[in-house]
Amino acid sequence: MTPLKIMKTVSAASFIALASALLLYHLTMSDIFRILAIVFGTIFYHFFVRLVLGIFIDKAKQNRANIMRSWYRIRPWERKFYRCIGVRKWKDKMPTSFPEYFNLRKHSLEELAQVTCQAEIIHESNVLISVSALLGAIPFGMLWFFVLSSLASGCFDMIFVVMQRYNRSRLISLLERQRALPIPPKKID
């Protein structure tokens, strides 16, 4: 099952579970159903909002970004950090929502670098969404639950931010080397 299908399935299942828990809570006024409604509501929030935001950013940016903007440039300390956490060893084991976007046979190095910029923005936005879930503790209580779910989902998205930045630095290095090569003269028949 693709990551996108998983997100859609979890969103739908958690929404149904949320509606069921709310109905049972309304009928019984039992705290267990209130807690389950909060849990399923939070799961729904984390998955559905990410899904909608990702689709929105995908449609708005259409994989076009200025890869030279300072936000996307790799800082001097990042390469050492990526080596330290072994990004190269685990990055290919992570899921990709749209593998066709990352196909080197269909896209140029610059296009792939632009895709990594868009994916980074999506995952950075998801981190902010994770933090905003803490606001759920105001009306519902259970601060510990909102902190844990926000922390877990934010850390998960940061893994993808790191991956995109790591991959982009390599793509840009390849692109710069490619552009530095002399263009061979065309043969005239």
Per-residue pLDDT, 100: 78
Q: Kindly state whether residue 187 falls inside one of the protein's structural domains.
A: no
- Residue 48 · residue 11 · CB < 8 Å: yes
Contacts 24+ apart (CB under 8 A), 65-69: 65/114, 65/117, 65/118, 65/121, 66/117, 67/110, 67/113, 67/114, 67/117, 67/168, 67/172
Residue 121 located in a structural domain = yes
What DSSP character marks residue 86? T
Confirm if 67 and 163 have CB atoms less than 8 A apart. Answer: no
Q: What is the pLDDT along the chain (189 residues), one digit of tens a residue?
A: 888 899 999 999 999 999 999 999 999 999 999 999 999 999 999 999 999 999 999 898 887 888 889 899 889 899 999 999 999 999 888 888 877 778 878 888 899 999 999 999 999 999 999 999 999 888 888 899 999 999 999 999 999 999 999 999 999 889 888 887 665 555 555
**75 is in which domain, residue-wise?**
3-179
Q: How many CB atoms lie within 10 A of CB 163?
A: 21
The pLDDT value given to residue 20: 98
Contacts of 151 (CB under 8 A, 6+ apart): 130
Instruction: Answer whether 97's CB lies under 8 Å from 54's CB.
Output: yes
Q: Report yes or no on 184 lying in a domain.
A: no
Cβ–Cβ < 8 Å for 118, 57: yes
Instruction: Flag whether 39 is in a domain.
Output: yes
Residue 160 near residue 94, CB atoms below 8 Å: yes
Domain contains 170: yes
CA distance 172 to 67: 8
**Assigned domain for 77 exists:** yes
HSE-CB of 147 using CA atoms within 13 angstroms: 4
pTM: 0.85
In a domain, 188, yes or no: no
Does 148 reside within a domain? yes
Residues 103-140 pLDDT 10s: 878 888 899 999 999 999 999 999 999 999 999 888 88
Q: State how many domains the chain has.
A: 1
Number of H helices, E strands in the chain: 7, 0
